[in-house]
């Protein structure tokens, strides 16, 4: 009987205390430990960023820089997963994958948009932009603005332009200096009709091939020359198949950074601001550092004797430019007077 009374008293006191002071669930929940194996407690957004070049290149390093800025500033709420060297998608299918939402971000060379948007060929015109300042004005001024607007038709968000460098010519077994050196040569080009015409105007022929097929096509001798930046020539070891390099600076290779628009719109305003800010900083960084990276690769090519390096003399450059006039005439209508006028204005300002 005494036990029964003690038990009743204990339960009664418990109920009275709980009713009087309340059950402090808030306090209880903050002191509870999370189960470490439980994933997905905090939502994480993944940005899959696919590109085709090596890690140690301007684009490869800029992608990593952008990823760490975004991850740090969103406190890990956004994670940028980078797939380099065409390990996920190559330059022939990455645009479609972005459009379909299979990935969220790409940064193709601007030439790769010309099939869909022919006016983008303005950036491929040979000797269009004579200095780095001229390139910046093209990308960040009227030309860039006009071109970025076009991609909206494809539900793409054109975020910024990234820099790589001037393209140089390489060939398997002969220096490319005189226009006659181009006769019978066959070049790999990116998919842009202007680039094909550029080589045809010099008396050569050209085939459009994906970047990651360039080495093997040089190896089997399907093509015997190509044009690219020093960082791409070096990082893809194209020097193993090419004996001659002509420093000609005859065209510029840069990138457009694109995001799937629906994905971008699905992000919170705060995250959009962080992404845009990270891109602005990364663009500033790549604009400055791409120049020294390409210079370093040229020094390495010379130091290790990887190719015979020739510099295009001014006299030959003028001969090339004379041939390129036909390219300007051929594409004026397709590119449009507005953009062509802007190219001429930039040329006059920086020449």
**Dihedrals φ, ψ of 337, to 5°?**
-65, -35
Question: For the chain, percent helix, then strand, then coil, each to nearest 5?
Answer: 55, 20, 30
Question: Is 49 a binder of ligand LMR (CB under 6 A)?
Answer: no
Closest by CA to 166, choosing from 33, 51, 311, 283, is 311
CB of 253 to ligand LMR, least distance (A): 6
Minimum CB–partner distance for residue 208 and ligand LMR (Å): 10
Asked if residue 232 binds ligand LMR (CB under 6 A), the reply is yes
Output the smallest distance, CB 59 to ligand LMR, in A: 6
Residue 48 pairs in a beta bridge with: 81
Q: At what angle do helices 142-150 and 337-350 cross, to 10 degrees?
A: 150
**Subset of 61-80 contacting ligand LMR (CB under 6 A):** none
- Judged by CB under 6 A, the residue of 82, 98, 190, 343 near ligand LMR is 190
Beta carbons of 268 and 274 less than 8 angstroms apart = no
* SS3 assignment, position 156: strand
247 exposure class (CB count in 10 Å sphere: 0-12, 13-18, 19+): middle
Q: Is 161 in the site for ligand LMR (CB under 6 A)?
A: no
Q: How far is the CB of 301 from ligand LMR (least distance, A)?
A: 17
Q: Is 312 near ligand LMR (CB under 6 A)?
A: no
Q: Which stretch binds ligand LMR (CB under 6 A): 51-59, 122-130, 217-225, 271-279?
A: 51-59
Q: Where is 267: in which H helix or E strand?
A: none
Which span sits near ligand LMR by CB under 6 A: 52-60, 142-150, 195-203, 296-304? 52-60
- Using DSSP bridges, classify how beta strands 78-83 and 225-228 pair: parallel, antiparallel or unpaired: unpaired
Is 211 an interacting residue with respect to ligand LMR (CB under 6 A)? Answer: yes
The residue from 70, 80, 109, 143 that contacts ligand LMR (CB under 6 A) is 109
Q: Of the two residues 52 and 298, which places its CB atom closer to ligand LMR in the complex?
A: 52
Residues that bind ligand LMR (CB under 6 A): 52-53, 59, 91, 109, 164, 190, 211, 228, 232
């Amino acid at each position: 009987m005494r036990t029964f009374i003690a038990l009743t008293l204990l339960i009664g006191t418990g109920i009275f205390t709980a009713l009087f002071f309340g059950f402090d669930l808030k306090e209880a929940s903050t002191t509870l430990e999370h189960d470490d194996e439980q994933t997905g407690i905090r939502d994480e957004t993944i940005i899959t960023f696919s590109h085709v070049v090596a890690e140690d290149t301007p684009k490869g390093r800029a992608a990593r820089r952008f990823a760490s800025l975004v991850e740090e500033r969103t406190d890990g709420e956004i994670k940028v997963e980078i797939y380099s060297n065409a390990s996920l998608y190559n330059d022939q299918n990455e645009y479609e994958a972005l459009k379909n939402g299979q990935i969220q971000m790409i940064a193709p060379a601007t030439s790769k948009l010309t099939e869909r948007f022919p006016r983008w060929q303005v950036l491929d015109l040979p000797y269009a932009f004579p200095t780095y300042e001229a390139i910046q004005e093209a990308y960040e001024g009227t030309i860039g603005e006009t071109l970025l607007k076009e991609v909206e038709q494809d539900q793409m968000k054109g975020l910024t332009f990234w820099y790589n460098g001037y393209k140089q010519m390489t060939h398997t077994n002969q220096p490319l200096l005189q226009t006659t050196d181009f006769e019978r040569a066959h070049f790999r080009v990116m998919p842009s009709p202007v680039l094909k015409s550029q080589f045809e105007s010099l008396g050569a022929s050209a085939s459009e091939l994906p970047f990651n097929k360039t080495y093997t096509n040089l190896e089997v001798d399907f093509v015997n020359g190509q044009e690219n930046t020093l960082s791409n020539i070096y990082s893809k070891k194209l020097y193993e198949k090419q004996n001659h390099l002509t420093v000609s600076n005859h065209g510029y290779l840069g990138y457009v950074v694109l995001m799937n628009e629906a994905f971008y719109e699905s992000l919170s305003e705060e995250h959009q601001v962080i992404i845009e800010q990270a891109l602005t900083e990364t663009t500033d960084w790549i604009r400055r550092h791409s120049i020294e990276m390409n210079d370093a690769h040229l020094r390495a090519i010379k130091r290790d004797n990887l190719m015979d390096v020739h510099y295009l003399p001014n006299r030959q450059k003028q001969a090339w430019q004379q041939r390129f006039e036909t390219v300007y005439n051929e594409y004026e209508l397709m590119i449009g007077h507005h953009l062509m006028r802007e190219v001429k204005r930039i040329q006059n300002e920086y020449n």
